[in-house]
Chains A and B, each alone.
Chain A
Amino acid sequence: MADIYFTEDHEYIRVTGDTGTVGISEYAQNQLGDVVYVELPEVGEQFDQTDETCVVESVKVASEIYAPVSGEIIEVNEALSNSPSLVNDDPEGDGWIYKIKIHDDSELSGLKDEDEYQDYIDNLS
Chain B
Amino acid sequence: MDAQLKHTPLYDLHVKHGGKMVVFAGFAMPVQYDGMGVMKEHLHTREAAGLFDVSHMGQIFISGSIDPADALEKIIPSDLKNMKNGDMRYSVLLNNDGGIIDDLIVTRLSEHNFYIVINAARIAQDLPRLEQILTGDVIMQHDTSRILVALQGPKAETVLKDIFPEAANLTFMQAMEESVDGHDIIITRSGYTGEDGFEISLPHPMEGDYLHDILKHPDVKLIGLGARDSLRLEAGLCLYGHDLDDDVTPIEAGLNWVIQKNRREAADFAGATKILNQIENGTSMKRVGLLPDSRAPLREGVELFDEDKNKIGHITSGTFAPSLEKPVAMGYINRDFAKTGTIVNALLRGKLIPVTVSKMPFIESKTKKGA
Contact = CB atoms under 8 A, between A and B. Distances in A.
Interface of A: 33-34, 36-37, 39, 55, 57-60, 62, 81, 84
Nearest to A34: B39
Given A33-B226, A34-B38, A62 B299 contact: yes
A33 B37 contact: yes
Nearest to A60: B226
A87 to B, nearest CB: 13
A37 B37 contact: no
B268 to A, nearest CB: 42
6 contacts: A33-B37, A37-B296, A37-B297, A37-B320, A55-B349, A60-B229
Given A33-B39, A34-B40, 5 more contacts: A37-B296, A57-B296, A57-B297, A59-B320, A81-B295
Contacts of A81: 295
B199 to A, nearest CB: 24
Contact of B349 (A34, A39, A59): A39
Nearest to A52: B349
B320 A57 contact: yes
B319 A60 contact: yes
Contact of B322 (A39, A59, A62): A59
B31 interface: yes
List 4 A-B pairs, minimum CB-CB distance, nearest first. A36-B320, A34-B39, A59-B38, A37-B295
B36 to A, nearest CB: 10
A34 B40 CA distance: 9
A38 B72 CA distance: 49
A59 B296 contact: no
B319 to A, nearest CB: 6
B277 to A, nearest CB: 39
A43 B257 CA distance: 52
Contacts of A62: 297, 299
Given A33-B226, A37-B295, A37-B296, A58 B38 contact: yes
A57 B319 CA distance: 10
Nearest to A39: B296
Interface in B102-139: none
B32 interface: yes
Contacts of B37: 33-34
Contacts of A59: 38-39, 42, 226, 230, 297, 319-320, 322
Interface in B282-301: 295-297, 299
